[in-house]
Structure 1
């Protein structure tokens, strides 16, 4: 959220068919409610003719709840779909991990330093290797083994745990399991994954090995929302680094881990700050 004010703010994300006057009408509505706009940004998809906007405002004293409800009706009246979030809301987050710990450490340290406005309520893993790390951070650790034979039962246990904790965001911090379509539909909330490749290149397992075999000169990492199709969800953030013929697979893995941490951290930050608007299989990121 904007640092220009410490007062609680509302943030709205809107999208719908573009037409003249939308910016003025949104600003006018906020003014009429006694609100003060802190920041606004908009984008028009020139091909599809879709208008996107993110706007932050400080509502008049005591009006945050009423403005939130009223804004949805206002947005519908101008043909827009909307989502309104309060800056004081702290989403409850669960981090899924397997055996790799670099993204986990990075996320938790950023959270503990106050970089993320959320509450990390659980670390969930299909292995026990990172249990002591979770304990060291004081975060509850839940071991739920996953095998091909028990995948459905394991996912049911994961979903029950997420529901009991009222988790709103799942972060797959190098969780080396594919979430099923049933899991994603049942959870029905955001899941952010980090893939160790510049998608759509080298999807699936061992992308660094694939990159080395192909002799690429760039490797990358991609943070995206998880969907039923493997490594095919809406992309939030990507980055790359250069490599040469002198770099072996171990070098690519080492360099790639640095990218993975940075890319995932940025994607999580943008999501928590309500800067990502998903439409179709793409995103608009108001960075």
Structure 2
């Protein structure tokens, strides 16, 4: 069996000596660092770090061993410190409505081993993608929208907890989550939408954009907050379009970008590369 690798993430107030202290603590625990990135935000005074390492000695092997070794450094700098095994796949629940392009791309990437996640379920307010979901051998949860939205959201959150999900991916889930649910899922829910906002809201945004003669289309993946489509941005992409392309062509290009951008955001979150920095994110590519 190959030696397990660990991913260490740190967030704290910036100070002199953090990198040296972490490196020294890992060296004392016979850890071999294979990758390390850090960033100090001069505006917020916060420090962020992501380090990948593997054990080389006999005394420090498990996650608990290294947490013990890092405890003095953690206490000294008041760190928000997390340690994950790199080979552990994050449990992900996907929510979708009728548009299925993002769901298709996520499931294909998952099945082909390109995404370091375990899809524990797909839930929807429509049955359009039940056959596809079950073809992949994934549980499908049908949660139709009725008169009682709080009841439907309670059922959604119950599925999230019962499946052991660590991340909710809104893969074109065309429902606005309540403030209460957004709070419960803070930092654990990712959404995707076109990048025209705040312009071209509502139905057929690409047709609206075509009517206005836009020169680029794109997509934004972000964490879900109570402020609709305004959460901390994880990833964005754009593509230039021409005057002779139809609204249908713009929509097709936009859907392709949405699928890729959402998958990138899910991958980076699952690899613990994304750290919240107020209304922004730090992403260690």
Q: Given the two structures, how large is their TM-score scaled by the length of structure 1? A: 0.91
1:230-241 equivalences under 5 Å are: 230-241=228-239
Contact 1:168 1:189 in 2 (8 A): no
CA distance in 2, matches of 1:42, 1:153: 43
Q: Offset of 1:39 from its aligned partner?
A: 0.6
- Give the match for residue 279 of structure 2: 281
1:69-88 equivalences under 5 Å are: 69-71=68-70, 74-88=73-87
Range that drifts further, 5-14 or 117-126: 5-14
- Give the match for residue 214 of structure 1: 212
1:101-128 per-position Cα deviation (integer Å, ceiling 9, x unaligned): 1111111111111112221111100000
CA distance in 1, matches of 2:15, 2:76: 13
1:192-250 per-position Cα deviation (integer Å, ceiling 9, x unaligned): 11112255655665432342243221111001111111101111100001112223321
**Counterpart check, 1:140 vs 2:139:** yes
Could you say what secondary structure the match of 1:30 adopts?
helix
Could you say what secondary structure the match of 2:282 adopts?
strand
1:73-107 per-position Cα deviation (integer Å, ceiling 9, x unaligned): 52231233222222132221111011111111111
CA distance in 1, matches of 2:244, 2:102: 26
1:98-137 equivalences under 5 Å are: 98-137=97-136
Change in Cα spacing, 1:72 to 1:154, as seen in structure 2 (3 Å) is: farther
- Give the match for residue 34 of structure 2: 38
Q: Offset of 1:271 from its aligned partner?
A: 0.7
Change in Cα spacing, 1:204 to 1:270, as seen in structure 2 (3 Å) is: farther
CA distance in 1, matches of 2:199, 2:7: 35
CA distance in 1, matches of 2:22, 2:198: 37
Change in Cα spacing, 1:76 to 1:142, as seen in structure 2 (3 Å) is: same
1:240-279 equivalences under 5 Å are: 240-279=238-277
1:6-50 per-position Cα deviation (integer Å, ceiling 9, x unaligned): 421221121222222221111011111121111101122233332
- Give the match for residue 166 of structure 1: 164
Q: Given the two structures, how large is their TM-score scaled by the length of structure 2? A: 0.92
1:174-185 equivalences under 5 Å are: 174-185=172-183
Gapped runs of 5+ residues in structure 2? none
Gapped runs of 5+ residues in structure 1? none
Q: Offset of 1:275 from its aligned partner?
A: 0.5
CA distance in 1, matches of 2:199, 2:72: 42
Could you say what secondary structure the match of 1:114 adopts?
coil
Change in Cα spacing, 1:108 to 1:72, as seen in structure 2 (3 Å) is: farther
RMSD: 2.0
- Give the match for residue 44 of structure 2: 48
Contact 1:199 1:222 in 2 (8 A): no
